[in-house]
Amino acid sequence: MKKNKIAIQGELGAYSHIAANDLFKEAEIKTCTTFEETFKQAYEDENCKIIIPIENSLAGRVADIHYLLPKYKLQIHGEYFLNVEHNLLCKSEANIKDIKYVRSHAQAIGQCQKIINKNKFQSIVSADTAGSAKDLAQGNDKSIAAIASSLSAEIYKLKILEKNIEDERGNVTRFLIMGKNPEQPEFNNDKKFITSCIFRLKSEPSALYKCLGGFATNQVNLTKLESFSVKNTFDQANFYLDLEGHLDQPGVKKAMEELGFHTVTLDILGVYEASKFRQK
């Protein structure tokens, strides 16, 4: 059986790697240094999918992704919500009294301030959580700890000093599964769907108000609407939108037609089954 090819940003053991393992058993994982490199993998290879974080319940949106979506126009095949559990990792021979520094991604450090302040650790910001664990494993300094996943501890043979060290429980990251070709499921009344798109409005008064009117008139619920500036200008903005529904539903179809009247560009990023996490 041919393995799924999945590209992620970060080293093995990253939270994207955990999401990939949950979704695709025994997948061939390709690690990428940047999000753009990750997008390029799927853009250049139609047999490759990517799993990328788009938002976090504590930290908000992952800003880099919004600029890559219109650039590469990959299609969303699905979504996945992952509970993020941070752990304090160290060398096998170290203990808590040896630790003076803690290394991780800026967001992870920000989400674990209680243990950092309690132990008076000095923070070292790194590119990603799993990369911090890998660097720790390759070094000889037992005064450094890393904040990363339990999978990172397993991969890099590190000791977990303390589990679930995040300041707040319920830290959830939403991931998108994307690929070059559309994989739109057929409409089914028994299932819930999400449609995602990116659009740019015409430069005219009340354009945003008018384009949103179609969703209200047709009773289509929007779960997300975000604006982000078009590069090199403050005059225009792109909008990212998630709505509940399938393009084959009459109300959604009419609302999208209304949206099209007031936009310069409108790109459907995907129609996919809503995660069961949304039903909680």
Catalytic residue among 121, 175, 215, 239: 175
- Pull the structure tokens for residue 90: 């160290």
CB atoms within 10 A of CB 156: 21
Type and span of the H or E element at 92? none
Catalytic residue among 38, 129, 173, 195: 173
Q: How many residues does the chain have?
A: 280
**Alpha helix ranges (H) inside the chain:** 15-23, 35-44, 63-72, 106-110, 113-119, 129-138, 150-155, 207-217, 250-261
- Distance, CA of 90 to CA of 144 (rounded, Å): 7
Contact (CB, 8 A) for 11 and 130? yes
Query: Is 173 annotated in the active site?
Result: yes
| DSSP designation for 249 | S
Type and span of the H or E element at 227? strand 222-229
Residue with tokens 């803690």: 102
Please give the C-alpha separations between residue 168 and each of 32, 159, 249, in angstroms, as whole numbers.
29, 23, 39
- Distance, CA of 242 to CA of 227 (rounded, Å): 12
- Distance, CA of 249 to CA of 253 (rounded, Å): 6
Please give the C-alpha separations between residue 29 and each of 38, 105, 135, 229, in angstroms, as whole numbers.
11, 21, 20, 33
Type and span of the H or E element at 170? none
Query: Is 24 annotated in the active site?
Result: no
- The catalytic site residues sit at 173, 175
